[in-house]
């Protein structure tokens, strides 16, 4: 049987010090999906992330000398550089299953947005932190009601969109993005055309096995600010 061609798909991967993960991820994507484009948007890693990504066959956007750094602005620049019909955003630390790219692509043929929805989120957070997170997400759902959008996992970092729609929201609402924040999906969902169909695709979120997390309290603040935008 002939393998499906993925020339209509670009995977955008924001990275910061992911040399232990990125080569493996890019290689697996390349091997599994014929014709797929991969853009790694690196914010000035101090390790060999950029070299490893290039070696495995990704295009690399080097943001080392940019005035603003952040996951959100990196994803935006990756999307702006994408020329394919569909774009899929995923982390560079192997926490998002690359096997799901096939299913996301298939679903994108029938709806405009597909969000990877975490079935089980493994973490060792204390009780108060888990409660804070639940409350923040609840506020986010209320905010999206105003936009007429329903999405189960509004803070997911694993999602796909028709590139054109994503680019339109970025162009029209650039000032509404928390550029240094983490929640580029939430910032985009708020300004999708009313009634946009969002498909929820379940997956298991793995624990990070290599490298370290970059999320910190500043990002929580950016998210709260984003609720008001
Ligand atoms: N370009 C860019 N990438 C970033 C930045 N911060 C984090 N990343 C990347 O974004 C992805 C998600 O970051 P993580 O630190 O793994 O966040 P997380 O998955 O919520 O946290 P863990 O579960 O602890 O891994 C990873 O590929 C990071 O390398 C940033 O400021 N700029
Ligand atoms: Mg991670």
Q: Find the CATH number of the domain harbouring 31.
A: 3.90.550.10
Does residue 3 form part of some domain?
Answer: no
- Chain mean position to CA 24: 18
Classify residue 79: in a domain, yes or no: yes
Q: Is the pLDDT of residue 1 over 60?
A: no
The answer to whether the CB of 38 falls within 8 A of the CB of 26 is: yes
Residue, of 213 and 192, whose pLDDT is higher? 192
Domain membership of residue 41 (yes or no) is yes
Residue 199, domain member (yes or no): yes
- Domain region containing 194: 9-227
Residue 156 reports pLDDT greater than 80 = yes
C-alpha span between 92 and 116 (Å, rounded): 15
Q: Whose CA is nearest to atom 21 of ligand 1?
A: 213
With 0-12 / 13-18 / 19 or more C-beta atoms within 10 angstroms meaning exposed / middle / buried, residue 36 is buried
Q: Residue 11: is it exposed, middle or buried by C-beta count within 10 angstroms (0-12/13-18/19+)?
A: buried
Does residue 122 have a pLDDT over 70?
Answer: no
pLDDT at 121: 66
Index of the ligand 1 atom closest to the CA of residue 43: 1
Q: Which of 133, 214, 222 to mutate to test the pocket of ligand 1 (most atoms within 8 A of CB)?
A: 214
Kindly state whether residue 4 falls inside one of the protein's structural domains.
Answer: no
Q: Is residue 2 part of a domain?
A: no
Of 40, 22, 24, 42, give the one whose Cα is nearest residue 32.
24
For residue 44, being part of any structural domain is answered with yes
Query: Per the structure, how many domains does the chain have?
Result: 1
Q: Is residue 1 part of a domain?
A: no
Higher pLDDT, 9 or 137: 9
């Amino acid at each position: 049987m002939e393998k499906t061609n993925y020339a209509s798909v670009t995977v955008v991967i924001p990275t910061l010090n992911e040399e232990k993960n990125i080569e493996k991820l890019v290689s697996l994507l390349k091997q599994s999906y014929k014709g797929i484009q991969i853009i790694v948007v690196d914010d000035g890693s101090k390790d060999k992330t950029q070299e490893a990504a290039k070696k495995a066959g990704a295009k690399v956007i080097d943001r080392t000398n940019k005035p603003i750094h952040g996951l959100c602005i990196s994803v935006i620049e990756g999307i702006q550089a994408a020329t394919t019909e569909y774009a899929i955003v995923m982390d560079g630390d192997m926490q998002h299953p690359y096997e799901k790219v096939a299913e996301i692509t298939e679903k994108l043929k029938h709806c405009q947005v597909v969000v990877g929805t975490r079935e089980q989120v493994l973490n060792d957070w204390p009780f108060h932190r888990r409660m804070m997170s639940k409350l923040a997400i609840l506020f986010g759902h209320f905010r999206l009601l105003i936009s007429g959008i329903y999405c189960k996992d509004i803070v997911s970092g694993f999602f796909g969109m028709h590139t054109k729609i994503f680019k339109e929201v970025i162009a029209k609402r650039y000032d509404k993005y928390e550029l240094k924040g983490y929640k580029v999906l939430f910032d985009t969902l708020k300004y999708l055309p009313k009634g946009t169909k969002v498909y929820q695709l379940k997956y298991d979120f793995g624990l990070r096995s290599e490298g370290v997390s970059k999320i910190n309290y500043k990002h929580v603040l950016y998210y709260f600010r984003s609720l008001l935008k």
